[in-house]
Structure 1
């Protein structure tokens, strides 16, 4: 029926939940530590949805990630469709239709998994005694390869700020300006806003109302400068 809200999908926090909807990549913790990387203040779209499981938005899709001794596990949730019923076990039928090769590629690119981190750690340890002292406590720390528009506008929000507050600001930004992707356990997830959404005549005022303060001018102004200059695709080509 028209106007009926879509049923919320259930969080899948482990491969045992809907195993057919999980995939994995070979990736030991020495190559990637989710807990260190996703909470480090590089990106502000991830939260630890249950112990060891991280849920967030990447590439206009909602993901849950977790890892074991030698694998990185992930599941991708389907987009909302108010006319599509959920399966009884809470698995969205649409989620299973996403191409595995493409989601593998997105995740490998995001974490730059084609860069061998263990070899770099060994080289850095040999060159720097200070790094050698801390490396054992901080293995698997990588630089995320993020969308440049999202990264730039997010880091404007970091000025005179801290991670928990930045995360809340980015969440409000996405809820107010970004399209809703899906709803999991009654929690809505939104994509990062498009440039056009952030360059409207009332965008700066709306951002100020959301608590962005002086940053509102720079978020909206930077979005406009990108849109009128290289554009999102042009900026992506510079990455």
Structure 2
């Protein structure tokens, strides 16, 4: 295996890979993680002072690809310092949860994986994503793993029927319809357009996709479209905001659209362009243990069940 020098304070692989950002990683033995990214099967082992890694099949750019995925090019210590100065509550969380990074995910995989997150938990979401890959993705030579399918493989009524047989339920329709919409909008060119838009416009365009409501749109903006100010608000984040920052929210029993937007705007005022990244540290601290991480992909209460006909921003 190859390696690059990196302490656990710079990246905590367990929290980053298993904390609900992505659904294709497993801890096979303590501190060893196996997952699929960029059409390859990766094995990562975390040590105190470095990360050992290998990719199957190997390429000449493995370290560059991996460091890009893990955002190792960004100065996390500087971010933590700034966020801690802005917020004493964050400072306390940061002492317990160091090395939390946002992955740079592939957008189409991120979009379709989070459609699977509705009414679901991490274990089942991971199983569904693996099933979709085994049905429509290319086998990674020499392994039993499959790359995430290209968008054109997920278009057509036969796809929806096959996914229903695979127990995807109503998500089968959303996956097929979303794949068709992405193709209609321009595929990868549309994805690049979303990255270059401002955050608000990108979120509105994502919500034109079937099954994509505000929270899932924010997850996608944050995790794969470089809009790091996006703040996905679920019940955990609502509780964090209510109990620590916005006490007047105690009069609300659920996350209304108004409350959702107020919480996101508050964290953006506090942490600026990295609000979503900083809030992830607070989120992990609120969960206390990985047993509760399955709650990260809770049901989005008002998930839309049909294509939204909104004006494109």
Shorter-chain TM-score tier: 0.7 to 0.9
Say whether the 8 Å CA contact 2:137–2:148 is kept in structure 1.
Answer: yes
Say whether the 8 Å CA contact 1:124–1:131 is kept in structure 2.
Answer: yes
Structure 2 equivalent of residue 122 of structure 1: 81
Q: State the 4+ residue runs in structure 1 displaced beyond 3 angstroms.
A: none
Extract unaligned runs of 5+ from structure 2.
Answer: 196-224, 226-313
Structure 2 equivalent of residue 81 of structure 1: none
Say whether the 8 Å CA contact 1:32–1:141 is kept in structure 2.
Answer: yes
Cα displacement (A) at 1:183: 4.6
SS of the equivalent of 1:174 reads helix
Structure 2 equivalent of residue 139 of structure 1: 98
What RMSD in Å do the two structures reach over aligned CA positions? Answer: 1.4
Per-residue CA distance 1:121-149 (angstroms, 9 max, x = gap): 12111211211121122111111110000
Task: Name the count of aligned residue pairs.
Answer: 195
Say whether the 8 Å CA contact 2:6–2:50 is kept in structure 1.
Answer: yes
Structure 2 equivalent of residue 54 of structure 1: 33
Rounded to whole Å, the distance in 1 between the matches of 2:31 and 2:44 is: 8
Structure 2 equivalent of residue 26 of structure 1: 5
Say whether the 8 Å CA contact 1:147–1:236 is kept in structure 2.
Answer: no
The structure where helix makes up a greater share of residues is 2
Per-residue CA distance 1:2-51 (angstroms, 9 max, x = gap): xxxxxxxxxxxxxxxxxxxx222222111111011100111001001222
Rounded to whole Å, the distance in 2 between the matches of 1:231 and 1:65 is: 31
Say whether the 8 Å CA contact 2:157–2:176 is kept in structure 1.
Answer: no
SS of the equivalent of 1:158 reads coil
Structure 1 equivalent of residue 138 of structure 2: 179
Say whether the 8 Å CA contact 2:160–2:172 is kept in structure 1.
Answer: yes
Cα displacement (A) at 1:69: 2.0
Which of 204, 208, 224 is matched with 2:160 structurally?
204
Rounded to whole Å, the distance in 1 between the matches of 2:80 and 2:109 is: 29
The structure where strand makes up a greater share of residues is 1
1:228 aligns with 2:207: no
Rounded to whole Å, the distance in 2 between the matches of 1:236 and 1:45 is: 23
**Which region of structure 1 is more displaced relative to structure 2, 123-132 or 150-159?**
123-132
Rounded to whole Å, the distance in 2 between the matches of 1:175 and 1:25 is: 31
- Relative to the length of structure 2, the TM-score reads 0.60
Rounded to whole Å, the distance in 2 between the matches of 1:225 and 1:76 is: 33
Rounded to whole Å, the distance in 2 between the matches of 1:200 and 1:26 is: 46
Cα displacement (A) at 1:119: 1.3
Do the aligned partners of residues 104 and 236 (structure 1) sit closer, same or farther apart at CA in structure 2, a change above 3 Å counting? farther
Rounded to whole Å, the distance in 1 between the matches of 2:101 and 2:192 is: 20
Cα displacement (A) at 1:233: 4.7
